[in-house]
Structure 1
Amino acid sequence: MSNKYTTIKYLFAEDSKDNSFIHLDKSFAAYKKIMNLVEKPVKLILFYGNPGCGKTFLLKKIVEDLKNRDDIIFFSHPFFNEDEFMTSLYQEIFKEKPQEKIQNYEEFTRIYKSKLSKEDEENKKVFTVLLDEAQLYPEILIEKLRLLSDSGFFKFLFAIRKTDEEHVLTKDYFKARIWESIEMSPLDVNEMRVYMESKLQSKKFDYQFLKFTDEQLELINNLSRGSLTMLNKLMFNFFELYEYFEDNQPTIISTDTMSTKILEMAAIRSELINA
């Protein structure tokens, strides 16, 4: 007999194939603002939020929606060397490896301009480069990207984690050069409810959402600390425990409401609380 909780838990898996975009107020507002800025003549955009708030997922959604355009470049991983970044940027633009080694910003600029078509140069074609985990980039490389944006051929969106440590992108002298800033705030309990209900509803398991009490939903939001990543991890472990009990001790979960005890067990497994 198939176990419905097997299907449900994978809705919250990190690599779930059912990661369709859910229109939460804050994330959708950020989505619309970024999509609008793609069309505007801005040079530098700062996109920041707490770890796990959904920045990467939102960037991937934007890249997917703009996949038919050839002026959008997305780097999901950080670069630590100037030559590696400039070489990768060249390859993304021209879809080929450079014929000569590109060691720095100056060499990239020279080679890039030499390869520009007259039409692109006259129209001043601008590439939008989205950089995830930008807080890991070396300060010197960040400064070179700022200089590259001054060429008028590129604009950069830096997605960074909001942490206690100050980063060059958040220092006053650099912030003065940022044209636009977008913050992704942590999920509040209402957004979390929408997210969970939408996930379950996508596979017609919305009746399972109705089994959560208001107190349990408040507890889930407190445990996950407004983080989408932590919420998914918690719910995956929660429904995995339900999967086990469904197969082995179904009477334990044969109630009209979800079990707070199992929720706490899932929180321990997710390392959100101590045993």
Structure 2
Amino acid sequence: MNNHYSDLKNIFIDGEVFDYISLDKSTTMYNKLVNALDKPLKLILFYGKPGTGKTFLLQKIYNDQKGKKRIIFFPRPFFEEKIFLQTLYENIFEECAPEFSHYNEFLVLLEKHITSSKEAIPVLIDEAQLYPTDLIEKIRLMADSRLLKFLFTVHKTEQEDLLAKDYFQTRIWETIEIDTASKSEIKTYIEKKLLFHNHFGYLNLFKDKHYTLIAKLTNGNLRTINKLMYKLFEILEYYDEHNPSLVKTNALHVKYFEMAGISLGMLHA
């Protein structure tokens, strides 16, 4: 049976495309990235922990810029050089790519066709840490031609600091790091999600103590926040259907957040 909590949980489904929520952090990062892309830089590194909103910022920049200038966005990694070069060629020239026998042949065609361009075409590359090292090196050589400029987006994890890798550390001209969301940003994020989907009547469900707990359970990770909120409303959906007297409509008991956290392994019973 569908109820209002069903609708609420669905706005926190974390898919490839979600509603862009403007936070102070994301607005600052957006402006930094756009300004960096406007500079005559060859390679830019944008990094941060998984779930901090890097991909969604790239998608917004691409959507905002594609009507104004030539820009290319690769949201998924390439593992084969040949496929990468063919896809890049087709994005630049909007025609089927010829068969390249080797990388230098691609460079010759590139230089022949776009040397008249006054500025380099920006290429946004997400998940760059998954690219083969030799392909990253060839991308760097493409940037040396000044015909293309590349923005690498990579995950920074506790196990491995990707900035320590030689091809990122010694080649990058500018680095931009995005942090996890603060408690106030978490509050803004949830409120804007509800407002965007016309569920402003449920804003009174959340109190300061709830945001404090959400921040503690998720460490400010937007992807984890989405998971927690989805599970929270899924639990409320169940109780509203089977035992509605236990669910207050003017505030939520902390136990529901704790139940969601336990279900997702964020808390231990």
Indicate the RMSD between aligned Cα atoms, in angstroms: 2.0
Give the alignment partner of residue 195 of structure 1, picking from 157, 166, 189: 189
Q: TM-score of the superposition, structure 2-length normalised?
A: 0.92
The one-letter code sitting in structure 2 at the alignment partner of 1:165 is: E
**Within 2, Cα distance between the matches of 1:91 and 1:230?**
36
The one-letter code sitting in structure 2 at the alignment partner of 1:35 is: V
Give the alignment partner of residue 104 of structure 2, picking from 103, 106, 116: 106
**Within 1, Cα distance between the matches of 2:16 and 2:127?**
21
- Please report how far the alpha carbon of residue 141 of structure 1 lies from its aligned counterpart in structure 2 after TM superposition: 1.1
**Within 2, Cα distance between the matches of 1:88 and 1:148?**
15
Q: State the secondary structure of the residue aligned to 2:215.
A: helix
Residues 1-275 of structure 1: pairs in structure 2 closer than 5 A: 3-15=3-15, 19-69=18-68, 71-99=70-98, 101-114=99-112, 116=113, 120-163=114-157, 164-167=159-162, 169-171=163-165, 174-254=168-248, 256-275=250-269
Paired residues, number = 268
When structure 1 is superposed on structure 2, of 128-137 and 61-70 the one drifting more is 61-70
- Please report how far the alpha carbon of residue 107 of structure 1 lies from its aligned counterpart in structure 2 after TM superposition: 1.9
Contact 1:82-1:103 at 8 Å conserved across structures: no
**Within 1, Cα distance between the matches of 2:176 and 2:199?**
34
Q: State the secondary structure of the residue aligned to 1:156.
A: strand
**Within 2, Cα distance between the matches of 1:9 and 1:123?**
48
Q: State the secondary structure of the residue aligned to 2:135.
A: helix
**Within 1, Cα distance between the matches of 2:102 and 2:124?**
20
Stretches of structure 1 that go unaligned for 5 or more consecutive residues are none
The one-letter code sitting in structure 1 at the alignment partner of 2:85 is: M
Per-residue CA distance 1:220-247 (angstroms, 9 max, x = gap): 1111111100000110111111122222
The one-letter code sitting in structure 2 at the alignment partner of 1:7 is: D
**Within 1, Cα distance between the matches of 2:43 and 2:65?**
19
The change in CA–CA distance for 1:16 and 1:94 in structure 2 (over 3 A counts) is closer
Q: State the secondary structure of the residue aligned to 1:122.
A: coil
**Within 2, Cα distance between the matches of 1:226 and 1:104?**
45
**Within 1, Cα distance between the matches of 2:198 and 2:35?**
34
- Please report how far the alpha carbon of residue 103 of structure 1 lies from its aligned counterpart in structure 2 after TM superposition: 4.7
**Within 1, Cα distance between the matches of 2:229 and 2:161?**
32
Contact 2:111-2:147 at 8 Å conserved across structures: no
Contact 1:63-1:72 at 8 Å conserved across structures: yes
Contact 1:56-1:132 at 8 Å conserved across structures: yes
The one-letter code sitting in structure 1 at the alignment partner of 2:262 is: I
Contact 1:10-1:16 at 8 Å conserved across structures: no
- Please report how far the alpha carbon of residue 96 of structure 1 lies from its aligned counterpart in structure 2 after TM superposition: 2.1
**Within 1, Cα distance between the matches of 2:16 and 2:243?**
27
- Please report how far the alpha carbon of residue 166 of structure 1 lies from its aligned counterpart in structure 2 after TM superposition: 3.8
The change in CA–CA distance for 1:4 and 1:109 in structure 2 (over 3 A counts) is same
**Within 2, Cα distance between the matches of 1:33 and 1:174?**
19
**Within 1, Cα distance between the matches of 2:90 and 2:67?**
18
When structure 1 is superposed on structure 2, of 265-274 and 48-57 the one drifting more is 265-274
**Within 1, Cα distance between the matches of 2:265 and 2:217?**
10
